[in-house]
Amino acid sequence: MTATLSPQALNEQYGIPHTLRFESAPGGRLVRAVVTGDAATGVIYLYGAQVAEYQPVGHKPVLFMSRQAHYREGQPIRGGIPICFPWFGRKEGEPGAPAHGTVRTKNWDFKAARKEGDNLVIDLTTAADHYELLYSVSFGAQLTLKLKVTNTGPFASSFEEALHTYFAVSQIRQTEVLGLKGHEYLDKTQNFTRSTQGADPLEFAAETDRIYPTMADNCVIRDPGLHRRIKIEKGNAHSTVVWNPWDEKAVEMDDLADDEWATFVCVETGNIADSKVTLEPTQSHEMSTTITVEKV
């Protein structure tokens, strides 16, 4: 199995009538799987194993995707759920290394697709350094993501990981994130100064870029404009990141339209900084997150 299989070959091998099909993405270079399940629709790119769309039946789209996203090899796709691995942000001691690791800008191998009740589950794999990665995405009334990492090398080694989820919101100024109170964070807008979050909810009135390295609790996004709450449950994930670039930073980003910053918030599940993971040879670690939308 190789990630360079054509949509036609993938359809022959893994396609499921009325439920799963493969196609070329805009621009024709990347391949994506389109899910039309009983409980939800979705899209996942083989490039980066990046979930780009998720919409449970009866709800509006849950994920944000930039109108100006690049769909070409060598560049990350702006929106959906990029996977950060084996480091988060800048690599320590290597300023030239790509931000957020190497797996979001490579083609993954499509491994399997199966129906489980109303859900459609897709497995993709890749390797990075001396790690093997298995990513399982279950599209249903909830979206469940599981990232399993195995150390295939001869030595113990450590990594960081994150599911850098872009949630669509009606308006960032009215959006609230709950569950962070009392947790320490590294403020990237203040040169990574450490502070403790005093109050719940977190509201947005300026650029926000915070790593909560030891925040394993679940979070909730409250969006009164869309009349919904998004619950983010975490398994084996001890860090949370919250990000919105605000207007000035957004204008500098060529893969984001100037008005789009106000319509998303990233709430990211991961293991970062103080919570990086160390694996002995042959050991595995699985992190997961489940996203649930509720009307209010």
Q: What is the contact surface with ligand TA6 in residues (CB under 6 A)?
A: 76, 89, 99-100, 164, 188, 209, 241, 243, 266, 268
Q: Could you tell me the smallest distance in angstroms from the CB atom of residue 35 to ligand TA6?
A: 24
Q: Could you tell me the smallest distance in angstroms from the CB atom of residue 188 to ligand TA6?
A: 5
Q: Could you tell me the smallest distance in angstroms from the CB atom of residue 86 to ligand TA6?
A: 15
Nearer Cβ to ligand TA6 (132/255) = 255
CB 225 within 8 A of CB 193: no
Nearer Cβ to ligand TA6 (150/289) = 289
Residues with Cβ within 8 Å of residue 215, at least 6 apart in sequence: 179, 180, 183, 185, 238, 239, 240
Nearer Cβ to ligand TA6 (31/211) = 211
Q: Could you tell me the smallest distance in angstroms from the CB atom of residue 88 to ligand TA6?
A: 7
Nearer Cβ to ligand TA6 (84/279) = 84
Instruction: Round to whole Å and give the CA distance between 6 and 9.
Output: 5
Q: Could you tell me the smallest distance in angstroms from the CB atom of residue 44 to ligand TA6?
A: 18
Nearer Cβ to ligand TA6 (151/244) = 244
User: Which one, of 235, 249, 238, lies nearest residue 276 by Cα?
Assistant: 238
Buried-state track 24-57, b at ≥16 Cβ within 10 A, e below 16: ebeeeebbbbbbebeebbbbbbbbbbbbbbbbbe
Buried-state track 224-238, b at ≥16 Cβ within 10 A, e below 16: eebebbbbbbbebbb
Q: Could you tell me the smallest distance in angstroms from the CB atom of residue 192 to ligand TA6?
A: 11
CB 183 within 8 A of CB 99: no
Buried-state track 101-137, b at ≥16 Cβ within 10 A, e below 16: bbbbbbbbbbeebeeeeebbbbbbbbeeeebebbbbb
Nearer Cβ to ligand TA6 (210/228) = 210
Q: Could you tell me the smallest distance in angstroms from the CB atom of residue 173 to ligand TA6?
A: 19
Nearer Cβ to ligand TA6 (24/75) = 75
